[in-house]
Structure 1
Amino acid sequence: MTGRTPTPSLVRVLRDRNAGLYLGAVVVSGFGSFAMMLVASVWVKERTGSDGLAALCVLAVWAPLLLGPPLGALADRVRRRPLLVAANAGLGVLLLALCGAGGADSAAGVWGLLAVLVVYGACGVVTDAAEAALVAGAVDKELLGDFNGLRMSANEGMKLLAPLAGAAAFTAWGGPAVLLLDAVTFVLAGCLFALLRVSERRPTPGPRGWREQTAQGARRLWGDTRLRPLVVAGGLTMLSSGLGGALVYALVEALGHSPAYTGALYVAQGAGSVAVGVTSGALLRRFGDRRFAGAGIALTSLAAVLQALPWDAAVLVGFTVNGVGLPCVLIAALTAVQRQVPHALAGRVAATANTVLFAPTAAGVALGAALVGPVDHRLLLCGLAGARLLLALPLLGSGRGPATAPPPGAGWWRRPARAGVRSARRWSRRGWRRARRGGGSGGGSGGGSA
């Protein structure tokens, strides 16, 4: 009897119409966003000469992440696809208006740009939550790991390409040209979201207010014995990542290179992230979410050791390994949220998870900036390696774990029983031996019919 060769899951994702449209929207909007995030700081620095105002551009985009839980609740109060279309189109119009006003070419324009970046960041929090919830219902749950990996690869690819394109456009035509580019990418992303074929019911407004709905998402995340360890481990890993990022210039100086050498290191890290994104779905199925996340964190521990060595080749390999390891816990956590959280709560839980995962990065950067002066960077990197290994061991030591949520009342360590197969606990040792010999099946008393 012959059968057709099964289609690889990655190909199935790319053939899926909704998945393809969504990934296209991620690539288009990501290209404009990463170009704009670099150019905004450069533009303000060039216009004002102030390092503080230039740093505020980055803070303006990231600060709304701290309001992830209440902003994510918005994604559960309205239909997600119209929300994504409206948010992207609205940002496009806002950027076009700022472009028409000259952007940061005037003193008032600098503050206008900062205000737009705050809106930019807040919309990003809302749309990330809406996207996570929408994808959970639009893409086969079996393919969510592959999809999230491809999304990570697309994002990391844009991080490598878009800043170069943005810097070139800024040098050639000035800041308004980059604003126009970003506006166009948002409008195109909104059009792609509008083409998604999803069936959404209008959410039924609950009797509870916004504050209680926000708290409900946090309780759902914290009370889940499978999600909580993944998200907490991811947040602590990102804290260590921020601390490690603050050491990069000390590391480059110790190698005897100019600060521009950091570009090569980040390209190596980005290449590693792109590579693991493509293979993450298969690895999640093979090892389960906990072991996949734990293996990734263990790789970042190895990366810190390699980065502490005094050789260029070891440091480059270390950054590549870090790029491979760091996305693993993020992909595992997001995929677990999408698979296990009820659709009605998906937006606020995803936003809360994103806050726990990514907000610690800023604290890590601040801590690293405070420590890099008085403490040798190699000693700090060795400390990071040890801390990351401690985070990885509990995840690596846990069971493979189910791909979906366990049945009510079951702990995370129990695999759901397969249909038609009795639990091994109901077999007596004698009955089990008989079954292995083909002599019949036995229950707890050793008897029974075959």
Structure 2
Amino acid sequence: MTGVTVRRGSSALRLPAFRRLCAAWVLSNLGDGVLFLTLAIWVKDLTGSTATAGLVFAALGLPVLLAPFAGHVADRVPRRRLLVVSNLAVAGAVALLLGVQDAAQVPLLLAVTFLYGCAGHLTGAAQSGLLRDLLADEDLPSANGVLTTIDQGLRLVSPLLGAALYVAVGVGWVVGLTAACFVGTAAVLLTVRVTESEPGEPTGSYRRELAAGLDHLRATPVLLRLTLAVAAAMAVTGLSNVTNLQAIESGLRRGPELLAFLAALQGVGALVGGPFAGRLVRRWGERPAVSLGLLLLAVGISSTLTASVVVFGVGAFVAGVGLPWVFVGFATLRQRLTPPHLQGRTSAATGLALSGPQTLVTMSAAALVVLVDYRALIACTVAVVAAAALAVGRQGRPGAAGA
């Protein structure tokens, strides 16, 4: 910790170092959002193949399997330096895309995309530890709320910006803007002043060190229970990627383009809910905030069982409001109950727990919707998310030690 004394309930934004970290977060998320959707559009134009374009999302998703390695690295080197080097490396890798001219070079594009996805897990793990070193416990909720709001806001706007640039002036401008964003991120991070915690001494074999984040979850029952509940909820929402489309086409009798409008409404909901997330966590505690957020998510998903566009839209907005409360509450508890030298590995372990099952369910959803009525799958999703919300809510509020 930096040793700065902060009033309970004060905003992390009062700290200059955190404001600079936010500026870096804006730049990196802008670069992220501008590029990721454009890559799939670009591959589709180069090859004419939707299946090949889908490989872009696979290349972005597969690095989650390497998250434990990323977390281990983040706990073993100075985190600010790691973030600077990683962002510069990403900028260099993205710049290689300027050489892609035809379908024969798509493998290079996919390789860069995979490295880009790996870097995302590395920087995510490093940032978790950097936040823990920078902020007092009482500032973590507001900090996570601010970062989540930035993330959701840019996720709503930046893909549209990337697609517009691609159509208007070509992919070179998209690549150039993305690379510039990551260089700018590295430059801003160089100005962040923080006293970093020392890495812990190795306590066993490399394999044991790699699994230290998972071991910490097992040794911290309150965090393990919350992780399992949120992981179950996030996994089953993987069905929604397919059932939402089926509900629009079969239930509403509308075209698939409505999905983009509903996604935008969910993004607006997240922008509304994000600023209140930190305040909610400080007042009620992490787990009540997560529980309420999951309940709102269940309500939002249940709206897709109706045949009303208005109800669909309201449901998407409600789900968007609840999601930041889930993620901010979960991240705050994880950071608070994890010692500094395990922040990276624990962040990676929970990230794998949340993203891995969701990816598998998403991949299986297309087959399931052929075999099972989409309304039954929606009802199952709502039931699991609501059950997770109730399970988290019954746990109460943890003490400082997570007992």
**How far apart are the structure 2 equivalents of 1:135 and 1:210?**
26
Q: Does 1:255 align with 2:255?
A: no
Residue 245 of structure 1 is matched in structure 2 by: 241
| Structure of greater relative contact order (alpha carbons < 8 Å, 6+ residues apart) | 2
Aligned mate of 2:170, from 174, 181, 184: 174
Which runs of 5 or more structure 1 residues have no equivalent in the other structure?
A: 1-5, 407-411, 413-450
Give 1:122 shift.
0.7
Question: Shift in Å at residue 108 of structure 1?
Answer: 3.8
Computed over aligned residues only, the root mean square deviation of the Cα atoms, in angstroms, reads 1.8
Equivalent residue letter for 1:106: D
Q: Which residue is equivalent to 1:380? A: 377
Q: Is 1:192 paired with 2:193?
A: no
TM-score, with structure 2 as normaliser: 0.94
One of 193, 209, 212 as aligned partner of 2:208: 212
Cα deviation per residue 1:173-228 (whole Å; 9 max; x = unaligned)? 22222111110000011111111111236636526343221112211112211111
How far has the Cα of 1:256 moved from its partner? 2.2
Q: Percent identity?
A: 32
2:350 pairs with 1:327 = no
Matched residue, 1:341? 338
Q: Does structure 2 conserve the Cα–Cα contact (< 8 Å) formed by 1:92 and 1:187?
A: yes
Aligned pairs for 1:229-240 (under 5 A) are 229-240=225-236
Q: SS at 1:38's partner residue?
A: helix
The letter for the 1-side match of 2:383 is G
For 2:279 and 2:244, how far apart are their aligned partners in 1? 32
- How big is each residue's C-alpha offset from its partner over 1:274-304, in whole Å with a ceiling of 9 and x where there is no partner? 2221111111122211221111111122122
8 Å CA contact 2:8, 2:138 repeated in 1: no
- Contact 2:291 2:392 (C-alpha < 8 Å) held by counterparts: yes
Q: TM-score, normalised by structure 1?
A: 0.84
Alignment partner, residue 98 of structure 1: 97
Deviation at 1:35, TM superposition (A): 1.5
Larger radius of gyration: 1
Matches within 5 A, 1:41-440: 41-99=40-98, 101=99, 103=100, 105-200=101-196, 203=199, 206=202, 208-253=204-249, 254-402=251-399, 404-406=400-402, 412=403
Amino acid at match of 1:332: G
- Verify the 8 A CA contact 1:269 1:319 in the aligned structure 2: yes
CA 1:121–1:312 in 2, change beyond 3 Å: closer, same or farther?
same
Distance in 2, matches of 1:246 and 1:286, equals 37
C-alpha distance in structure 1 between counterparts of 2:85 and 2:9, whole Å:
32
Query: Is contact 1:230-1:332 (8 Å) kept?
Result: no
3-state DSSP class of the match of 1:372? Answer: helix
- SS of 2:36's equivalent in the other structure is helix
Alignment partner, residue 35 of structure 1:
34
Query: 1:94–1:116: 8 Å Cα contact kept in structure 2?
Result: yes
C-alpha deviation, 1:328, in angstroms: 2.5
- Residues 69 and 256 of structure 1, relative CA distance in 2, 3 Å threshold: same
Worse overlay, 261-270 or 12-21: 12-21
Q: Which deviates more from structure 2 when the two are superposed, residues 202-211 or residues 19-28?
A: 202-211
How big is each residue's C-alpha offset from its partner over 1:236-261, in whole Å with a ceiling of 9 and x where there is no partner?
11112211122121121121222111
Give CA-to-partner distance per residue, 1:155-185, whole Å, 9 cap, x none.
Answer: 1111111111101110122222211111000
Q: Give 1:8 shift.
A: 9.7
Q: Distance in 2 between matches of 1:136 and 1:69?
A: 19
Deviation at 1:66, TM superposition (A): 1.5
SS of equivalent to 1:259: coil
